[in-house]
């Protein structure tokens, strides 16, 4: 269920969208005035905003601008105006997308998915936790017990391959191909050396690893 705030004063459109979006996994909350919308957006309970430009009190573009002052929530603007200037103004005010009425519902849904897809990883970043380890793939950062751990490029690439699929086995061949290149497929020496280095840096007792596990003869896995 995705919480969506609809800012729209036309009761017919509100009804249509509430039903249709509701059928596609959205919980729709509707407000009719821009001032209400700004206040409610501040509470941060909505994951995405759908803003109509034709509001009774405030211009929709000002709503977008006001919300953007305090929030990075995705905003889609709906409008009957197909004018170039309105689009540019809305997008530059901070809107993420602009859909012209009459709009196609499957397109609107696709654009909502796209906006949410972008917004979500940013909020719940691609961070993997395991015991006292924090691995932030985006920031290329590894912490152990709150302290930054320095990894060499190869060490990081190896860890990244394993962490990408937590808990599941990655074959030696696959690791070698990803980290060193396809022609290194039989250099299992490298794996032994670098896995050992990672364990020394990341495990409490490198000789009895809890996170970087060996499947003898097959490959390695990262266990959270």
Contacts with its own copies, residue ranges (CB under 8 A): 72, 84, 87-88, 91-92, 94-97, 104, 106-107, 109-111, 113-114, 117-118, 121-122, 136, 138-141, 148, 150, 152-153, 156, 165, 167-169, 213, 215-218, 221, 223
Residue 97's binding partner among its own copies, DNA, none (Cβ under 5 to 8 angstroms by kind) is its own copies
Q: Report the 10 Å Cβ neighbour count for 153.
A: 9
> Tokens standing for 156?
């990081």
Does the bond joining 102 to the residue before it have cis omega, within 30 degrees of 0? yes
Q: Which helix (H) or strand (E) covers residue 154, if one does?
A: helix 153-164
Residue 206's binding partner among its own copies, DNA, none (Cβ under 5 to 8 angstroms by kind) is DNA
Task: Give yes or no for residue 43 binding DNA (CB under 7 A).
Answer: no
Question: With respect to DNA, which residue has the nearer C-beta, 58 or 196?
Answer: 196
CB of 11 to its own copies, least distance (A): 27
What distance in Å separates the CA atoms of residue 22 and residue 35, rounded to the nearest whole number? 24
CB of 156 to its own copies, least distance (A): 8
Question: With respect to DNA, which residue has the nearer C-beta, 100 or 157?
Answer: 157
> 49-71 as b/e, with b when 16 or more CB fall inside 10 Å?
bbbbbebeebebbebbbbbeeeb
């Amino acid at each position: 269920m995705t919480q969506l705030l609809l800012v729209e004063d036309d009761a017919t459109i509100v009804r249509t969208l509430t039903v249709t979006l509701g059928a596609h996994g959205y919980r729709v909350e509707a407000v009719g005035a821009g001032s209400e919308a700004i206040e409610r957006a501040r509470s941060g309970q909505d994951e995405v905003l759908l803003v109509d430009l034709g509001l009774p009190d405030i211009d929709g573009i000002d709503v977008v601008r006001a919300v953007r002052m305090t929030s990075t929530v995705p905003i889609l603007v709906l409008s009957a105006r197909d004018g170039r200037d309105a689009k540019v103004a809305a997008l530059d005010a901070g809107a993420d997308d602009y859909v012209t009425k009459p709009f196609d519902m499957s397109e609107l849904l696709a654009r909502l998915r796209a906006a949410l897809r972008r917004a979500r990883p940013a909020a719940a970043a691609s961070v993997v936790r395991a015991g006292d380890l924090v691995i932030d793939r985006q920031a290329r950062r590894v912490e152990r017990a709150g302290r930054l751990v320095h990894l060499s490029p190869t060490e990081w690439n190896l860890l990244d391959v394993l962490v990408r699929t937590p808990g599941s086995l990655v074959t030696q061949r696959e690791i070698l191909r990803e980290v060193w290149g396809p022609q290194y497929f039989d250099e299992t020496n490298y794996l032994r050396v670098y896995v050992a280095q990672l364990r020394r840096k990341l495990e409490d007792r490198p000789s009895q690893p809890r996170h970087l596990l060996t499947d003898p003869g097959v490959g390695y896995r990262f266990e959270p």
